[in-house]
Structure 1
């Protein structure tokens, strides 16, 4: 059972000012979760969570996380600029990019960000671009093959476009060391949205053993290891949540087992958990506006895949609560659809819900990460507003809804469009 953090009466009141659809983020939940993460890794001196900006690129969200001690992980120029504008500076910013325009390396370096290189050829490319290496550098690792936990295949890094082979990584550290780099890091992302307490400890052990190998072969003692993201959330109500304290303790255990005996007990642990940090604390609120009775029962809402594309793109499950009918029996079956000219524009297929009526408000759960951020303008649909439910119960507009004027603003306008500007 998933419980919304807002009531029907509250949504009705909000909708008087901000019509649906809109995103609503829970400040209290975000802060409490961030504190749990830091508590779980408090055993590691220097631990830092670098929130993946791509998951929820909104300055109000970033500022909340900054107040809770987080940094940012950026993958583009605009994410670097947003981080800078929100007060993240120096090593509070991690720049993890791939297929990177050279100018973005320059901006990251000017901000003092930690640059995390994705590919072996980037090493010389970066030196040529900047003239010399920054004093701190990180390299991204890809072990190839399949990543397994207890004989269960979690993902297949060999098909991922990210990271370096073991041989490339070791040679990369040699080059960086000879080039004057003084502080070194390693980064890896080997599985996505795992709902198991064993992912981080399993990944950490592999990376810790590699850190020992790197020191033995190159003399480079890593300063930090970034476990990246991959710690998931239970999108379905019958899934068990990850226990971040158990995850932190699992990493602690292999840290003491592998790194400490080899004199690497000062390595700092970094994480990059966009989904775990934000997904449960953001929801898409939408209203039922239409019904269609053909070969199936369709409930049409005023949001569509441009507002939340994960179900259309991945077939991803997002739980839906009908506000005001939380305790009603789910004895009707619907496809919940938007209005795009695409048949995959469905938030749910054959979903059991209470009987719906026009005007019902739906709370689409776990949309706080990779939700609004993946929006687009197909069919001329406009981006929705983003709202923050503050700890005191008030609501703040943190991004206004897009207007037709915004949509037309980047066109080469001639007389035919001036009436709309």
Structure 2
């Protein structure tokens, strides 16, 4: 990988994040630490929203919070006027704790429990994205017992394969998600809910994949979903009012990635749905989208301290950092690629081909294979970029490592928003065979 991507620096030749010295942040908060440029998050959120607004299109932009969930990020999305997707009781609880407007929360997931659905009903959230027939029965049961109205979308699989990794492609037929649009399942689901006295079917939802760099897949999905909605209008006299095309908008991880601007995805969706609605004389639906990675992914940078090194002659040179697959499992899980720099020596010549290894006891714990960096020393700060999505969100305590701190940077100020886990946190829920452990 050559190094043509440019990153901001200060007079000391240090990496800066939203104007602040990354090495100073590492000293202040310790490493590993995930630093978010919140100015960039807000800019992206506004680009998505403003594109709908300038085209006078009714829409909801919902942050897909599985990318990164915390009270502070929910507060940012609330301030920007976004809606919110959650996929568990934990994410819903966090959102409510952040005082996110319940009417703008959408609940996803392929195996929602009765307890989670009760929590959603109690909170009077805006929408449940129903994923299967089992869930239909649970939702109907709750609505009838409580005599409480609830709005839903039906998640469907349109059979559209996005250009992405197999593990993160969710719109094709062989998927654990949703009702198949091609084999009649979606029609059966419609029949089960369309005229229920307490269930308000708003429309259809799909998600065709992740890290998508083109718009054709979204256009094809919109055509299939809109055609189905038109069919129901003609045959069942039922008009759906919402078309949700999900998320999956790509970001740049390395120089090989070429994502579109947020507004480009939205503009092409609007054009397609407007044209299709016009051609079919179907009232143009409200458009919902669900950006997650594209809001927070490349706004996040993880800072590590470099420790040991190992050279395997004529094979590989390893440099090890004080984190790894415990705070970013994506490289081990599906060979995700990243770019990195030595944050305290940004202007030094990159002369050494290295592999960045983590400290977990797994030979596969490699954060980056084969990147050219300056010759490093123990104590140098390594910055790995675009770690804002599915890094902290998928972090674990493997090897009893503590999860990192998270810091937001905005307007020249840094704010700690998630504390680093302590060793005490690791044993907080442990119970001894012999009674209370000293200190608990």
Aligned length: 415
TM-score, structure 1 as length reference:
0.92
Q: What does residue range 404-419 of structure 1 map to in structure 2 within 5 Å?
A: 404-413=423-432, 418-419=437-438
Matched-pair contact (CA < 8 Å) for 2:15–2:346: no
Provide the rounded CA distance (Å) in 2 between the counterparts of 1:104 and 1:155: 23
Moved over 6 A (4+): none
* Match 1:339 to one of 339, 344, 359: 359
Provide the rounded CA distance (Å) in 2 between the counterparts of 1:148 and 1:359: 42
Matched-pair contact (CA < 8 Å) for 1:190–1:230: yes
1:265 equivalent in alignment to 2:283: yes
Q: What does residue range 7-406 of structure 1 map to in structure 2 within 5 Å?
A: 7-8=14-15, 10-42=21-53, 43-113=55-125, 114-131=127-144, 134-144=149-159, 147=161, 157-166=172-181, 167-180=184-197, 181-295=199-313, 296-390=316-410, 392-406=411-425
Provide the rounded CA distance (Å) in 2 between the counterparts of 1:285 and 1:365: 9
Matched-pair contact (CA < 8 Å) for 2:337–2:368: yes
Q: After superposition, what is the alpha-carbon deviation per residue over 1:15-74, rounded to whole angstroms, capped at 9, x for unaligned?
A: 333111100001111111111111222225331111112111111111111111111101
TM-score, structure 2 as length reference:
0.88
Q: After superposition, what is the alpha-carbon deviation per residue over 1:275-312, rounded to whole angstroms, capped at 9, x for unaligned?
A: 11110101111111111122421101111110111111
Matched-pair contact (CA < 8 Å) for 2:158–2:206: no
SS in 2 for 1:41: helix
Matched-pair contact (CA < 8 Å) for 1:200–1:231: no
SS in 2 for 1:248: helix
How much has 1:210 moved relative to structure 2?
Answer: 2.4
Gaps of 5+ in 1: none
Provide the rounded CA distance (Å) in 2 between the counterparts of 1:71 and 1:238: 32
Matched-pair contact (CA < 8 Å) for 1:133–1:176: no
Provide the rounded CA distance (Å) in 2 between the counterparts of 1:44 and 1:55: 29
SS in 2 for 1:297: strand
Q: Which moved more, 1:36-45 or 1:56-65?
A: 36-45
Matched-pair contact (CA < 8 Å) for 1:286–1:303: yes
Q: Which moved more, 1:345-354 or 1:173-182?
A: 173-182
Shift of the 135–401 alpha-carbon distance from structure 1 to 2, 3 Å rule, reads closer
Matched-pair contact (CA < 8 Å) for 2:341–2:383: yes
Matched-pair contact (CA < 8 Å) for 2:102–2:123: yes
Gaps of 5+ in 2: 164-168
- Counterpart for residue 166 of structure 2: none
SS in 1 for 2:430: coil
Matched-pair contact (CA < 8 Å) for 2:8–2:15: no
What is the Cα-based RMSD across aligned positions, in Å?
2.2
Q: After superposition, what is the alpha-carbon deviation per residue over 1:246-298, rounded to whole angstroms, capped at 9, x for unaligned?
A: 22221111112111344433411111111111101011111111111224211
Q: Which moved more, 1:394-403 or 1:224-233?
A: 224-233
SS in 1 for 2:173: helix
SS in 2 for 1:17: helix
Shift of the 330–220 alpha-carbon distance from structure 1 to 2, 3 Å rule, reads farther
Provide the rounded CA distance (Å) in 2 between the counterparts of 1:242 and 1:417: 56
Matched-pair contact (CA < 8 Å) for 1:174–1:218: no
SS in 2 for 1:147: coil
Matched-pair contact (CA < 8 Å) for 1:138–1:187: yes
Q: After superposition, what is the alpha-carbon deviation per residue over 1:370-410, rounded to whole angstroms, capped at 9, x for unaligned?
A: 110100011111111000112x2111100110011100000
Shift of the 419–4 alpha-carbon distance from structure 1 to 2, 3 Å rule, reads farther
Provide the rounded CA distance (Å) in 2 between the counterparts of 1:41 and 1:355: 48
Matched-pair contact (CA < 8 Å) for 2:274–2:284: no
SS in 1 for 2:212: coil
Q: Which moved more, 1:379-388 or 1:350-359?
A: 350-359
